[in-house]
Amino acid sequence: MKRAVTLAATGILAISLATPGMGKKPDSGIMTLMSNQVTNGKSFQSQQIYNQWGCTGENTSPELKWSNIPKGTKSFAVTMYDPDAPTGSGWWHWVVINIPGNITSLSLNAGMEGGRNLPTGASMLMNDYGFKGYGGACPPPDSAPHDYHITVYALDIPDLDENSSATPAMASFYIMQHTLAKAVLTAPTNAR
């Protein structure tokens, strides 16, 4: 697998994927992901912190904007994942699928439980907190910083055709099979 990684001074991290043998070749431009609330390499603001389990944030999903979309993109998926959670399998904080291919942003608080702030056609899967919506960062007390990865995926299919009870891990499996490009913002957030 070939990877091109760029880190801009504005806090934008972009990764473009070209997977030999899978017939997926992204455009020469590298897909980028930007947010007014999240800066790559810096901790979340209280707005993106969970508001339960001993955490006292606002539990608001950040505004996200992406650009340099590869040819052949038919939909997008967005995830927020913590690989450092003490579970053995990480922690899924947010999974949005079936974002139409002509949409290049999610508004602030698009991850509100119930999905009313999502673009038409998009839906959310159950996060590891146990609800369909954005569940903010909440690292355990006295833990090392956790790297929270917010990722947008450009997909070569219009619909993942996941049922509403699909797990984030299952959705991730299908996302990876159909990814043309992805872009990531990472927020290393300290324990409370």
* CATH numeric code, 2-24+32-189: 3.90.280.10
Q: What is the C-alpha to C-alpha distance for residues 119 and 74, in angstroms, rounded to an integer? A: 15
Q: What is the C-alpha to C-alpha distance for residues 63 and 16, in angstroms, rounded to an integer? A: 21
Residue with tokens 């907190």: 129
pLDDT band (50, 70, 90) for residue 14: very low
Q: What is the C-alpha to C-alpha distance for residues 122 and 55, in angstroms, rounded to an integer? A: 28
At residue 150, the pLDDT reads: 97
Q: Is the pLDDT of residue 20 over 90?
A: no
Contact 137, 44 (CB under 8 A): yes
Q: What is the C-alpha to C-alpha distance for residues 141 and 22, in angstroms, rounded to an integer? A: 43
Q: What share of the chain is helix, strand, coil (3-state, %, to 5)?
A: 5, 35, 60
Domain assignments of the chain as residue spans, ordered by start: 2-24+32-189
Q: What is the C-alpha to C-alpha distance for residues 151 and 186, in angstroms, rounded to an integer? A: 9
pLDDT tens digits for range 67-120:
999 999 999 999 999 998 778 788 899 999 999 999 999 999 999 998 999 999
Reported as type and span, the H/E element at residue 2 is strand 2-7
pTM: 0.83
DSSP track, 66-89: EE-PPTT--EEEEEEEETTSTTTT
Q: Which residue has the higher pLDDT, 181 or 57?
A: 181
